[in-house]
Structure 1
Amino acid sequence: MSGIVTAVSSNEKYSFTKPNRDSITLLTGLGVEGDVHAGTTVKHRSRMAQDPTRPNLRQVHLIHEELFTEVGEAGYEVGPGELGENVTTRGIDLLGLPTGTLLHLGPDAVLEVTGLRNPCLQINAFQDGLLREVVGRDADGGIVRKAGIMTVVREGGVVRPGDEIKAELPTGPHRPLKQV
């Protein structure tokens, strides 16, 4: 299973969107160098309010570019970095990966998939009604979160648009993604 990086984004301050960059540097055990969400403990404000000592399982956020096409069909215009992701991908089924999958980005970086992004109401502040497009229900009534996946950095490196992504599935029984 493979895909490509189509955009990389980071922001040194809290903001819903993240500006696109020519490259980002991933730091082992921390996240994106210079990004407000980098660190060993939680950096998302709502999670810090609950328990600032919890481990940061949301160091790097990835979204599949195909989501932008999907929400576009419902009348929303969304581009790379606008939903707060650090890495925008194409051609890889991020939401179908099991927990613990290793994603090799470019020549050096390795991310470990920790779970699904839990979309929040800020998405509606960005574009009214967009939240219902990125959170839906399956045929059995279960919640489906489509706003990307969260990862931690296992091996650092520079990541650029155009870099290949290779997925290395975990051994043993696969655990489906849950919100983190």
Structure 2
Amino acid sequence: MNGNVGSYVVSVSQDAQHKFSKQQRPSILLVEGLGVDGDAHSGTTVQHLSRVRRDPTQPNLRQVHLIHAELFLELEEEGFSVQPGDLGENITTHGVDLLALPEGTLLRIGAHAVVQVTGLRNPCLQIDRFQAGLLEAVLPRDSGGNVIRKTGIMGIVHTGGEVRVSDGIQVELPAEPHRPLERV
């Protein structure tokens, strides 16, 4: 997986307010240890409102949200219309099997930015408010009855830098043994 050919940024999004969807931008600035500059979820401690209510001192393992653009095509085949930024992600990717990455993977994006993968996004009921039935579509079950979380991954900013549409993405796997992603 190291240095995936054809892996790149499709879109970048950021919003200063706690909204479900984020505004597409020409570029975003990742700030080491904080997240996306100017984004409502940026910070060293958790910024997701429901998590803040439970324990505002938790470390922010959700500084950057990434979704694979391939999910949008899959959802379109099921009758949904989802565009980059609609599900609240900061970076929409192409060509990286995000859901298969192990915890601790480094994603080198563009010239300088590095995101360290912390886990899977756990979608909430707001997805059904965005489009009815979407939550079930992004949380299917496998043949064993286990939930498959398709709404992307979360990470922390390991190294800051600007991220732009069309920037390349290189995947650097952590040392083995690999830990599968859990929801964060």
Fold shared, TM-score > 0.5 on shorter chain: yes
In the alignment, structure 1 residue 131 sits paired with structure 2 residue 135: yes
Which consecutive unaligned segments of at least 5 residues does structure 2 have?
none
Which consecutive unaligned segments of at least 5 residues does structure 1 have?
none
Find the residue that maps to 1:47 and give its secondary structure.
helix
Q: What is aligned with 1:88?
A: 92
1:117 pairs with one of 115, 121, 138: 121
> Matches of 1:69 and 1:172 in 2, distance apart?
32
Find the residue that maps to 2:140 and give its secondary structure.
strand
Q: What is aligned with 1:177?
A: 181
In the alignment, structure 1 residue 5 sits paired with structure 2 residue 9: yes
In the alignment, structure 1 residue 165 sits paired with structure 2 residue 158: no
In the alignment, structure 1 residue 59 sits paired with structure 2 residue 63: yes
Q: Deviations over 1:84-143 (max 9, x none)?
A: 000000011000000000000001000000000001000000000000111011121111
2:150 pairs with one of 146, 149, 156: 146
> Matches of 2:87 and 2:34 in 1, distance apart?
21
TM-score, normalised via structure 1 length = 0.99
Identity %: 59
Shift of 1:29: 0.1
> Matches of 1:8 and 1:89 in 2, distance apart?
9
Q: What is the aligned residue count?
A: 180
Regions of 4+ moved over 4 Å: none
In the alignment, structure 1 residue 20 sits paired with structure 2 residue 48: no
Shift of 1:157: 0.1
- Partner amino acid for 2:32? T
> Matches of 1:15 and 1:121 in 2, distance apart?
14
2:109 pairs with one of 105, 108, 118: 105
> Matches of 1:139 and 1:163 in 2, distance apart?
37
> Matches of 1:160 and 1:135 in 2, distance apart?
29
> Matches of 2:23 and 2:49 in 1, distance apart?
20
Task: Single out whichever of 136-145 and 104-113 deviates more from structure 2.
Answer: 136-145
2:45 pairs with one of 20, 38, 41: 41
Find the residue that maps to 2:107 and give its secondary structure.
strand
> Matches of 2:143 and 2:91 in 1, distance apart?
30
Q: Deviations over 1:146-179 (max 9, x none)?
A: 0000000000000001000001000020000000
Find the residue that maps to 2:71 and give its secondary structure.
helix
Find the residue that maps to 1:110 and give its secondary structure.
strand
In the alignment, structure 1 residue 50 sits paired with structure 2 residue 54: yes
Find the residue that maps to 2:148 and give its secondary structure.
strand
